[in-house]
Structure 1
């Protein structure tokens, strides 16, 4: 016998309807398990999409400017006042401000398919010059791009660049000139392209990562080659230390056990009848040290500090160009977070470019040991030095400068250069050290040519 299942009765237990219960009066109620399943689905959806929601909300918050938030707040407050008190004026203000926000939204529309590249003609320049860069903007989209305003950070300043209308697959070059009046490091980029409405209520930004570092080197003076006192011959200048093997002959002495036979002086041996050997004066190459006082308190002004940097950079650059052994130090070095134990921070000087980059990055030290203590630490460091140039400002007294000069031994040539802006150049010998006063970086080669440092 065949049964007609389409007309089967519904069970009273509620198994015929999944997730619901049928009452005796024929009404259906939602089962408690269904509510929990719905909450679990909501939680799963929130876990999957919470990052997108937060990112979307962050974009909305970044799109509205502070002025836009003020207008939106006034519109909401006016709507509340109009609804509560029935003020027509409040409704009018709410409608007007809401329309202002809506009118600003179309200004955010447009193509985002920009390809931006910053081309710099050079990344190193001397203070007082300029750098020319070109912002190359290409529209990679198939739709035209409306004019916009780009913001390009240049150091601590923010330069606004007007981006013209660019057609589909078109490009535009925007030239920008950067003056480099003072020494330092200028960071160019990243560029931000902004679209905003005329009232400044809404704003949309796109940032590119292209950035460049421009090193502005200090002004330096070209010093005469082979200047007395600062540069010596490549084969070395004789010192007062005696040795058994070198270039500068000093005298002969009696043979001692262990002396090499090649140093026997046979003519003296024939005259005296006993073995005599040669004795030499130890020769040394020009191991120059430039000690720069980077303490801002030792200079009367920022211009005087820059003068000291130029003088020290000129001396160090001359030593690098002539291939001399050198030690260039200050109270602060680029990249150091904590000062060294003796306060001496060596600047990289493998090449002229590396040295000038270091001087461009150098900043004034606010808390640093005095220059006389640095000179004493340099003298006690046991570095083999033959010439030491100490560069400082006009604040240190002559007594302090003499203390810095007498810290070194007699076989070390000490030159103390006191930088005083617009002062007359002067050089004098005090306590076996040469003290010079420099008012401009151009005075340095003049003093050397006149023998002031010789």
Structure 2
């Protein structure tokens, strides 16, 4: 005993008793330190694994269906009642529920080592066409993959894709087709492979994130050259606005201080004895605005609304092809959550594909302004326009369209197109605009030619 204590470290006081007491206090501190270190290790372990545990918990909760949660709740309740009240019926229900859950587990075991890629032959198609898909499935495991059935959303529908037997490290291509019957945007994918037990208590889903957006463009027709602006000009057509410097000579007027001396008309000055300067008509290239009425209440049917979209898209396409300055607007623009203050929503029209994609994404306008206020907003926007094309349905009468056209200045040509399914094509010259009635998309080129000749 003395021999052991003599080998212990001595304290600065030099007494053995105090040294021995100090040793006991150090042992107690070590115990507290060990308990504290255990808590710290537990906290570090929780920090490292809490994400994995939460991810595992989410997987488990997603695996159980609403029916499965009901069975689990009924089983747990029956087990508690059987243990506390000794009810034989409750134990029977608990045992049956546990057996059902255990029977459903083997159907979820195993995994599919699939690598799936969706290949689309084209991302843009005209309404009425079809898009061909190639679903490439590769088995990346060293074991064969048994046949399975995958689910693939196609727009609002859900397609079931049968996947055949695939050998180890093998691959297969499953063809599929998507019918583009109507204008819009079709979302294809992602692929989902689900497993569930026969009773639907548990299910397991594997999702591959490959997805594509297919733009279904409206039907359009080619218009004769020059009809987008109804003006065939190379260097510019003279307008009714007068200016001091341009190409088209109009008249002479008296000199005003500040006028350039190079515009002085010396012959007129010699005759009148007063300085006279030239005055010109301002020339302009055709700057067109296509105004589409997206208010569903102005159309008699959905088919008539789609006819209006096709007419407006055809006119705007011709303006882009001719590289004219154009402004394409509607009451509702793709991507906007709320309408603008004046109701005008510009559609992107830098390229043909961009313009047609915008027409494909266009939907029916909600809280839309009437066509008269929409035309007034365009007239008050101070855009330099030479022609305005208003496309609407069969509900607005000629009086309303005349009122809409009267918002623009006199030097702006206004063309109003009423779309009425199966109506006879007609052209009518009003005092402030030209009114066209289109019953089918094929009537538009001939009517536009009439507008040019007029």
Where does residue 327 of structure 1 map in the other structure? 327
Question: Kindly tell me: are residues 451 and 32 of structure 1, through their superposed partners in 2, closer, same or farther at Cα, counting changes over 3 Å?
Answer: closer
In structure 2, C-alpha distance between the alignment counterparts of 1:303 and 1:90, rounded to whole Å: 63
Question: Where does residue 287 of structure 1 map in the other structure?
Answer: 287
The separation in 1 between residues aligned to 2:238 and 2:53, in whole angstroms, is: 79
Alignment match, 1:410? 410
> Post-superposition shift, 1:394?
1.6
Equivalent position of 1:25 in the other structure: none
- Structure 1 distance, partners of 2:97, 2:231, is 76
Counterpart for residue 212 of structure 1: 212
Contact 1:253 1:276 in 2 (8 A): yes
Change (3 A) 1:34 1:429: same
What per-residue deviation string (whole Å, max 9, x for no partner) do you get for residues 50-88 of structure 1?
A: 44333323212211223333454565567678773435x
1:312 aligns with 2:308: no
How far the C-alpha of 1:324 sits from its partner, in A, is 0.7
Q: Report the Cα distance in structure 1 between the residues aligned to 2:311 and 2:100, rounded to whole angstroms.
A: 60
Decide whether aligned partners of structure 1 residues 202 and 162 sit closer, same or farther in structure 2, where only a CA change above 3 A counts.
farther
Alpha-carbon separation, structure 2, partners of 1:421 and 1:61? 53
Give the structure 2 partner of residue 105 of structure 1: 105
Q: What is the CA deviation profile of residues 344-397 of structure 1, one whole-angstrom value per residue up to 9, with x for unaligned ones?
A: 111110011111111111111110211101111111211111100111112223
Indicate yes or no: 2:443 matched with 1:432. Answer: no
Structure 1 residues 296-305 or 371-380, which shifts more?
296-305
Gaps of 5+ in 2: 6-19
Question: In 2, Cα distance between the equivalents of 1:2 and 1:226?
Answer: 118
Query: Does the aligned pair in 2 maintain the 1:119–1:134 contact within 8 Å?
Result: yes
CA 1:374 to 1:359, structure 2 compared with 1: closer, same or farther past 3 Å? Answer: same
Shift of 1:443: 1.5
Match of 1:197 in 2: 197
Aligned-partner Cα distance in 1 for 2:261–2:37: 103
Establish whether residue 337 from structure 1 lines up as the match of residue 337 from structure 2: yes
Kindly state the Cα deviation for residue 319 of structure 1 after the two structures are TM-superposed: 0.3
Structure 1 partner of 2:442: 442
Cα drift, residue 131 of structure 1: 1.0
Tell whether 2:359 aligns with 1:359. Answer: yes
Contact 1:118 1:211 in 2 (8 A): yes
For 1:40-59, what aligned pairs fall within 5 Å after superposition?
46=46, 48-59=48-59
The one-character-per-residue Cα deviations of 1:301-329 (angstroms, maximum 9, x if unpaired) are 22211111111111111100011111111
**Number of residue pairs matched by the alignment:** 437
- Runs of 5+ unmatched residues, structure 1: 6-10, 20-30
Inter-partner Cα distance in structure 1 for 2:383 and 2:300: 32
Is the counterpart of residue 170 in structure 1 residue 176 in structure 2?
A: no
Distance 1:211 1:332, change over 3 A: same
Change (3 A) 1:148 1:425: same
Helix, strand or coil for the counterpart of 2:441?
A: coil
CA distance in 2 between partners of 1:188 and 1:411 (Å): 49
**Higher helix residue share:** 2
Specify the alignment match of 2:120 in structure 1. 120
1:238 is paired with a residue whose SS is: strand
1:380 is aligned to: 380
Rounded to whole Å, the distance in 2 between the matches of 1:168 and 1:300 is 59
Counterpart for residue 24 of structure 1: none
SS of aligned partner of 2:421: coil
User: Is the alpha carbon distance of 1:229 and 1:355 closer, same or farther for their aligned partners in structure 2, counting shifts above 3 Å?
Assistant: closer
The root-mean-square deviation of aligned C-alpha atoms, in Å, is 3.5
Q: Do residues 140 (structure 1) and 140 (structure 2) align?
A: yes
Measured after TM superposition, the shift of residue 225 of structure 1 is: 1.2
The whole-number CA distance in structure 1 between the counterparts of 2:122 and 2:257 is 64
- 1:188 paired with 2:188, answer yes
Structure 1 distance, partners of 2:74, 2:254, is: 105
CA displacement 1:24-73 (0-9 Å, x = unmatched): xxxxxxx9999999878766655554443333232122112233334545
The question of 1:369 aligning with 2:369 is answered yes
- Residues 134 and 313 of structure 1: CA distance in aligned 2, closer, same or farther (over 3 Å): same
- Which is worse superposed, 320-329 or 155-164? 155-164
Contact 2:228 / 2:318 at 8 angstroms: preserved in 1? no
- With over 3 angstroms needed to count, the CA separation of the structure-2 counterparts of 1:3 and 1:425, relative to structure 1, is same
State the Cα distance separating 1:115 from its structure 2 match. 1.4
Matching residue of 1:350:
350
Q: Which moved more, 1:224-233 or 1:382-391?
A: 224-233
CA shift for structure 1 position 129: 0.9
> What TM-score, normalized by structure 1, do the two folds share?
0.84
- For residue 332 of structure 1, give the secondary structure of its aligned residue in structure 2: coil
Partner-residue secondary structure (3-state), 1:182: coil
